[in-house]
Structure formats: structure tokens, C-alpha cells
């Protein structure tokens, strides 16, 4: 019964408060709450302050959450844009480098008196003991066995095999390669051969010759492959002649980076088509 009485008392008090508040609202000054309203608001002020702070905190948290989501979407878009621009820059850089190489080849092509055809390297022999490349020009373009292959920097090698649309080129660095040469300043005659390791060897130099390092090595025109005057490389070292040896040998640094060939020019034999 005591619990029932407390419930009835609470309801009566709540009804009284409502009646008093209603009376205050119907009074002449509707903006004034009166002593009772003021007391109620005073009692509820701490709770109202807490609720307002909680509401502000929830609002800021929601704004932060939505802002983080927006930033994540924006960051993902920017990363995609950066990747796209990186790919574009790489493509443009590669195009510019190819254009410079082709421009150099074109200038050489216009200056040389020989009939030439430009070719792109499309393959390389994976065997470490051979040094050959495959280019995308063949017998249909007038390329024949033993056609000389060059770049604007100098000699590359010679064609050893053809199909209608491709050709295999033996590089100067291959041990099977041999080219007759002349040292440009000393006029010494020798033969350049590959050593299979990137550098070239010059042989059959006169024992009595005093050739300084740095002399430019050019083709002699002998042998029927390379015309005279194509740069082969530069003399690096000249070895001392062995006791009783008739000739001296040396090392030549190739004028062309044979490991990074991308485009070449093939000198066509006499009677081949003009390109």
C-alpha cells in the first residue's frame, strides 16, 4: 500500500506542476515562467548543460566521421590520379627518348652515302656465350647475309641469318666476330675481335708501334662487310709484346653500347632497294 500511495502522490504533484505551468503560460506575460517555472528550469539546468555537451560532442564526432570518409575517398582519387600521371610521364619520357634516338639515326642516314634501312631490335640471344640480336627487317627489305649493321655512334655487327621479315645480327662483342680496322691517328692496321665480355680486343698491331691509348679505331674497309671509316671504338690499353711475339694486342672500348641497342641501321648491299 505504501508503494501505491507514493505513486498516487507523485501523480498528484506532477498534475499540480502542469496546472501551475499552464496557468503561467495563460497569464498576461507569457514570456515569464514565474517562480515555479524558474525553479524547475534551475533544477534541470545541469542536466540540460550535460545533454547539450553530449549533443555537441556527437555532432562533432559525426562531422569528423563524415569528413574522414570524404578525405579517404579524395585520397583514393588522388592516388589513382598520381598513378595515371606517373604512367603518362613514363610513356612521354620513353617517347621522347625514342624520338631522340630516331632523330640521330635519321641524321646519320641522311649523311651516309650508303643505302640503309632502319630496324628495331625485337629479340636477343639469351645464351651468354653468344652475342646476337634479332631485328624486324629481313630479306623482303633487301637485307642480306653479311650486311653491315651500325648506329649513329658506330659499328654494331653483321647480319648472319635472314628470314623475309627478320634478321639475326652477330654483334662485335661475339668471339666469332672479326673486323679489319685502322687506328685513326697512328694509322696502325689490326683486327678487332669480340671477347664475349663486352669489350673488344685488337690484334696484330706492329710490335714496334708506339700507339697511345685513346686512339680512335675505325673500320679499314677490308673484309667486304663494313665500308671504310665506320667508328668501332677507342683504344683503351695496349699490352706489352710477349717475348718473341711478332704482334701486340690491346683492348678497345666499343663506341656503341651493344647491351642496350633498340634501333639500328642496316647497310644494304649494292642493288638493294632504297629506303
Please give the residue that has the higher pLDDT: either 192 or 207.
192
* Claim to verify: residue 87 and residue 148 sit in the same structural domain: no
Picking from 111, 134, 159, the residue at the C-terminal end of a domain is 111
Please give the residue that has the higher pLDDT: either 167 or 41.
167
* Claim to verify: residue 165 and residue 51 sit in the same structural domain: no
**Which conformational region is residue 187 in: left (phi greater than 0), alpha (psi within -120 to 50 degrees), or beta?**
left
Q: Over 50: is that where the pLDDT of 215 sits?
A: yes
* Claim to verify: residue 132 and residue 257 sit in the same structural domain: yes
* Claim to verify: residue 142 and residue 256 sit in the same structural domain: yes
Whether residue 27 lies inside any domain: the answer is no
* Claim to verify: residue 96 and residue 197 sit in the same structural domain: no
Whether residue 272 lies inside any domain: the answer is no
pTM for the predicted model, two decimal places = 0.61
Which range, of 71-80, 122-131, 202-211, averages the lowest pLDDT? 122-131
Averaged confidence pLDDT in the chain: 79
Sorting pLDDT into bands at 50, 70 and 90, what band is 224? confident
Say if CB 168 and CB 132 are below 8 A apart: yes
Please give the residue that has the higher pLDDT: either 48 or 69.
69
- Concatenated DSSP letters of the chain: -HHHHHHHHHHHHHHHHHHHHHHHHHSS-TT--HHHHHHHHHHHHHHHHHHHHHHHHHHHHHHHHHHHHHHHHHHHHHHHHHHHHHHHHHHHHHHHHHHHHHHHHHHHHHH-SS-EEEEEEEEE---TT--EEEES--GGGT--TT-EEE-SSSEEEEEEEE-SS-EEEEETTSTT-EEEEEETTT--EEEEEE-SSS-EEEEEEETT--PPTT-EEEE-STTSSSPTT-EEEEEEEEPPPPTT-SEEEEEEEESS-GGG--EEEEEPPTTPPP-
* Claim to verify: residue 76 and residue 138 sit in the same structural domain: no
* Claim to verify: residue 81 and residue 122 sit in the same structural domain: no
CA dihedral 242, 187, 215, 232 (to 10 degrees): -100
Beta-bridge partner residues of 191: 180, 203
CA dihedral 86, 87, 89, 93 (to 10 degrees): 140
Q: What percent of the chain has pLDDT over 90?
A: 29
Which range, of 110-119, 153-162, 177-186, 247-256, averages the lowest pLDDT? 110-119
Identify the pLDDT of residue 84.
82
* Claim to verify: residue 77 and residue 124 sit in the same structural domain: no
Sorting pLDDT into bands at 50, 70 and 90, what band is 272? very low
* Claim to verify: residue 97 and residue 163 sit in the same structural domain: no
Picking from 92, 111, 130, the residue at the C-terminal end of a domain is 111
What CATH number has the domain bearing residue 254? Answer: 2.40.10.340
User: What are 202's three cell numbers?
Assistant: 685488337
* Claim to verify: residue 120 and residue 250 sit in the same structural domain: yes
Whether residue 28 lies inside any domain: the answer is no
Say if CB 232 and CB 154 are below 8 A apart: yes
Picking from 111, 139, 165, the residue at the C-terminal end of a domain is 111
Query: Mind listing the pLDDT tens digit for each residue in 137-152?
Result: 999 999 999 999 999 8
* Claim to verify: residue 143 and residue 236 sit in the same structural domain: yes
Amino acid at each position: 500500500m505504501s508503494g501505491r500511495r507514493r505513486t498516487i502522490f507523485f501523480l498528484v504533484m506532477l498534475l499540480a506542476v502542469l496546472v501551475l505551468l499552464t496557468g503561467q503560460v495563460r497569464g498576461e506575460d507569457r514570456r515569464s515562467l514565474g517562480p515555479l517555472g524558474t525553479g524547475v528550469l534551475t533544477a534541470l539546468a545541469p542536466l540540460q548543460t550535460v545533454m547539450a555537451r553530449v549533443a555537441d560532442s556527437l555532432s562533432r564526432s559525426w562531422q569528423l566521421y563524415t569528413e574522414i570518409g570524404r578525405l579517404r575517398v579524395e585520397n583514393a582519387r588522388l592516388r589513382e590520379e598520381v598513378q595515371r600521371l606517373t604512367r603518362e610521364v613514363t610513356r612521354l619520357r620513353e617517347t621522347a627518348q625514342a624520338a631522340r634516338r630516331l632523330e640521330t639515326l635519321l641524321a646519320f642516314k641522311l649523311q651516309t652515302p650508303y643505302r640503309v634501312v632502319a630496324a628495331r631490335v625485337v629479340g636477343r640471344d639469351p645464351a651468354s656465350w653468344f652475342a646476337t640480336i634479332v631485328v624486324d627487317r629481313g630479306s623482303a627489305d633487301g637485307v642480306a647475309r653479311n650486311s653491315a649493321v651500325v648506329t649513329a655512334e658506330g659499328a654494331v655487327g653483321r647480319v648472319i641469318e635472314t628470314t623475309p621479315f627478320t634478321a639475326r645480327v652477330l654483334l662485335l662483342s661475339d668471339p666469332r666476330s672479326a673486323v679489319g680496322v685502322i687506328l685513326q691517328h697512328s694509322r696502325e692496321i689490326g683486327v678487332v675481335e669480340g671477347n664475349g665480355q663486352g669489350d673488344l680486343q685488337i690484334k696484330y698491331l706492329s710490335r714496334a708501334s708506339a700507339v697511345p691509348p685513346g686512339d680512335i679505331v675505325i673500320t679499314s674497309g677490308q673484309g667486304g662487310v663494313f665500308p671504310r671509316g665506320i667508328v668501332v671504338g677507342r683504344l683503351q690499353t695496349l699490352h706489352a709484346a710477349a717475348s718473341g711475339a711478332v704482334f701486340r694486342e690491346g683492348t678497345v672500348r666499343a663506341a656503341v653500347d651493344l647491351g642496350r641497342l633498340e634501333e639500328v641501321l642496316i647497310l644494304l648491299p649494292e642493288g638493294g632497294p632504297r629506303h
